[in-house]
A and B are shown apart, each in its own frame.
Chain A
């Protein structure tokens, strides 16, 4: 698909006097999009407005090239959504629930049931699918939510904090799955999170949002380039000597409490730095170009925006 999948122009969402979203304008192309922001930033509100779960107070938005205000129902046949909170239908079995969700999107029963099982396999649900959803653990709920969001083979899915409450292994699995949605299956993903690592791992494009406003929208690559002049080195012993060498080469550097050395070298890439260290006989165990780029950009964006 070509063209923007999400277009917002001046979207404002008022809750009484309070603006949950304030004049948000965006144009997003297909891919994996990370929606970052602190608690209460308006991430969930943005998703809900795009899906017409909340009516938009002012402005207009288009999803997949169609107006959400007038064609909401048609759009939603091609869009999936996994909300932040629990939203299971009590009394149903896991597989019944996913089948039902597929039917609600217009899949005939036979196909709905078959796809429900495929998706439950896909998200790694085993025999638990034959249990009532009321008995599920947080991890199972997250998986079922993901399954119901993709069961009708959408072109775009909104996942609101899909890794919340998952153990490290489960989180890794879910992130892999989400990543594969775009990389292998060409389904665009909008993923909201306040966990920078998640977004850093799988998202191609980042939208930073705070207090209802979009602060930054850029590709992860560009954001990292903004921090290109920074690096983090891990060396064995001889910390002082390395610091001296770096300073002699016009770098600002500091020894962190964990023994890592952060370097502000100001060069386009890390290669020249590694070269002069090598010339001095220093071989870093690890060298990270633009470390914590996302975190830095995130914190900077928030601080530019004024104190919370």
Chain B
């Protein structure tokens, strides 16, 4: 140990407000999460995924531009596009809101919540982060230290929540925005920005509400136990339970079981926010011959969209209520568990 140097000095600087202190907790939480082994890979994957989606959108944009080299290359090598290319181009001239706007909306519907997506990667990231969020503070009694500082339990929870939001911004919201920007910056016309704005709005709305919900769930799970393993297991259990419940409930008498699954509820919410079925209905009325094609039927089937029926408001209300209840349960767990010993 070094020699004692009694260089104690008084300070006379300003003290920052409570907003700053909460921000400090959020930052520290994010830093701790990013330091985790493997987290770097997950984050990179999210951004690579976003980049690939951006490339895909670039390809789509090129389809609209007959003079582009990419278009020439594609039509030369893939005969299929020879027929569909000019159709798209004519369409984009005639009705860009549908040709560009709706297509983007569909793309982003898939990007933000399909089986393999940044959502899945974000769930993995959360699973990895959970032992670091509150669990480790419970086991190391760090809550006592937080509470003895100028932050309350509420400030602590807000800070932690902010940290999770930052993490999800990096793995989900950020990549989504990047994809959208990339697609539009490399699009043949500046008007793409305008036509694809609804897709951006829908994605942001869905992603942000999903972030808030998943963030709350992650914090709730993380505060349930002081053992890292148990916390991770609970998280995996919650995810699996969601899948199982929605599978069991699907098409059975006990269809209500589906509402206990947050997957199902999030899907409903997403379908409603993006209004994909509404898009299909509109498409069907404007171009009846087009949507009757079997390609679109298969699409709709794959996406689980009931034939030409909008997601009923009533279902969505139930879904939102169920999600709120789950979020409320997470908040209650936080309130019960985050206490100094």
Write out the residue numbers on chain A whose beta carbons fall within 8 Å of the beta carbon of B251: none
> For chain A residues 57-80, which have a beta carbon within 8 Å of chain B?
72-74, 76-77, 80
Q: Is A107 part of the contact surface with B, judged by Cβ < 8 Å? A: yes
Write out the residue numbers on chain A whose beta carbons fall within 8 Å of the beta carbon of B293: none
One of A178-186, A233-241, A267-275 at the interface: A178-186
Contact A101 B5 (CB under 8 A): no
Contact B5 A107 (CB under 8 A): no
Contact A91 B136 (CB under 8 A): yes
Over the window 1-38 of chain B, the binary record of Cβ atoms lying under 8 Å from chain A Cβ atoms (1 yes, 0 no) is 11111111111011111101100110010001001000
Q: A104-B25, A107-B15 are in contact. Are A53 and B2 (CB under 8 A)?
A: no
Contact B2 A121 (CB under 8 A): yes
Write out the residue numbers on chain A whose beta carbons fall within 8 Å of the beta carbon of B5: 121-122, 124
Write out the residue numbers on chain B whose beta carbons fall within 8 Å of the beta carbon of A177: 4, 6
Nearest CB of B to A32, in Å: 15
Over the window 125-150 of chain A, the binary record of Cβ atoms lying under 8 Å from chain B Cβ atoms (1 yes, 0 no) is 11000000000000100010000101
Q: A74-B150, A118-B7, A124-B3 are in contact. Are A106 and B15 (CB under 8 A)?
A: yes
Nearest CB of B to A130, in Å: 13
Write out the residue numbers on chain A whose beta carbons fall within 8 Å of the beta carbon of B21: 103-106
Chain B residue at minimal CB-CB distance from A158: B148
Q: Is A285 part of the contact surface with B, judged by Cβ < 8 Å? A: no
Contact B152 A53 (CB under 8 A): no
Contact B15 A77 (CB under 8 A): yes
Q: Is B336 part of the contact surface with A, judged by Cβ < 8 Å? A: no
One of A5-13, A81-89, A201-209, A255-263 at the interface: A81-89
**How many residue pairs between the two chains, A and B, have CB atoms under 8 Å in the bound complex?**
126
Q: Is A227 part of the contact surface with B, judged by Cβ < 8 Å? A: no
Contact A90 B140 (CB under 8 A): yes
Interchain CB contact (< 8 A) of A87 among B8, B136, B140: B140
Nearest CB of A to B322, in Å: 34
> For chain A residues 214-234, which have a beta carbon within 8 Å of chain B?
none
Chain B residue at minimal CB-CB distance from A151: B11
Write out the residue numbers on chain A whose beta carbons fall within 8 Å of the beta carbon of B4: 122, 124, 173, 176-177
Write out the residue numbers on chain A whose beta carbons fall within 8 Å of the beta carbon of B6: 122, 177, 180, 184
Q: Is A171 part of the contact surface with B, judged by Cβ < 8 Å? A: no
Q: Is A244 part of the contact surface with B, judged by Cβ < 8 Å? A: no
Contact B149 A104 (CB under 8 A): yes
> For chain B residues 27-57, which have a beta carbon within 8 Å of chain A?
28, 32, 35
Q: Is B340 part of the contact surface with A, judged by Cβ < 8 Å? A: yes
> For chain B residues 132-154, which have a beta carbon within 8 Å of chain A?
132, 136-137, 140-142, 144-152
> For chain A residues 139-178, which have a beta carbon within 8 Å of chain B?
139, 143, 148, 150, 152-153, 170, 173, 176-177
State the main secondary structure of chain B at its contact with A. loop
CA distance A183 to B277 in the complex (A): 76
CA distance A184 to B18 in the complex (A): 31
CA distance A152 to B150 in the complex (A): 11
> For chain B residues 301-341, which have a beta carbon within 8 Å of chain A?
340
Contact A100 B24 (CB under 8 A): yes
Contact B147 A53 (CB under 8 A): yes
Nearest CB of B to A114, in Å: 10
CA distance A77 to B151 in the complex (A): 9
Nearest CB of B to A183, in Å: 11
Write out the residue numbers on chain B whose beta carbons fall within 8 Å of the beta carbon of A90: 136, 140
Nearest CB of B to A180, in Å: 6
Q: Is A295 part of the contact surface with B, judged by Cβ < 8 Å? A: no
Write out the residue numbers on chain B whose beta carbons fall within 8 Å of the beta carbon of A53: 144, 147-148, 340
Nearest CB of A to B158, in Å: 13
Q: A77-B15, A104-B24 are in contact. Are A88 and B150 (CB under 8 A)?
A: no
Chain B residue at minimal CB-CB distance from A114: B11
Write out the residue numbers on chain A whose beta carbons fall within 8 Å of the beta carbon of B144: 53, 83, 85, 87
Write out the residue numbers on chain B whose beta carbons fall within 8 Å of the beta carbon of A173: 1, 4
Chain A residue at minimal CB-CB distance from B141: A87
Chain A residue at minimal CB-CB distance from B12: A153
Write out the residue numbers on chain B whose beta carbons fall within 8 Å of the beta carbon of A100: 24, 28
Chain B residue at minimal CB-CB distance from A104: B149
Contact A125 B152 (CB under 8 A): no
Q: Is A280 part of the contact surface with B, judged by Cβ < 8 Å? A: no
Contact A111 B13 (CB under 8 A): yes
Nearest CB of B to A145, in Å: 9
CA distance A54 to B148 in the complex (A): 11
> For chain B residues 147-171, which have a beta carbon within 8 Å of chain A?
147-152, 155
Q: A86-B140, A86-B141 are in contact. Are A76 and B2 (CB under 8 A)?
A: no
Chain B residue at minimal CB-CB distance from A172: B4
Q: A48-B340, A87-B144, A89-B137 are in contact. Are A126 and B1 (CB under 8 A)?
A: yes
Chain B residue at minimal CB-CB distance from A91: B32
Write out the residue numbers on chain B whose beta carbons fall within 8 Å of the beta carbon of A52: 147
Write out the residue numbers on chain B whose beta carbons fall within 8 Å of the beta carbon of A125: 1-2
| Extra pairs beyond A83-B141, A90-B136, A107-B13 (9, CB < 8 Å) | A54-B340, A74-B150, A77-B15, A81-B148, A87-B141, A106-B16, A121-B7, A126-B2, A181-B8
Closest 8 CB pairs of A and B: A106-B15, A126-B2, A104-B149, A81-B148, A77-B150, A53-B340, A106-B16, A103-B24
30 A-B pairs whose Cβ atoms sit less than 8 Å apart in the complex: A51-B147, A53-B144, A53-B340, A72-B152, A73-B150, A74-B150, A86-B141, A88-B142, A89-B137, A90-B136, A101-B149, A103-B21, A104-B21, A105-B21, A105-B149, A105-B150, A107-B11, A108-B16, A121-B7, A122-B4, A122-B6, A122-B8, A124-B2, A124-B5, A148-B145, A150-B8, A170-B1, A173-B4, A180-B8, A184-B6
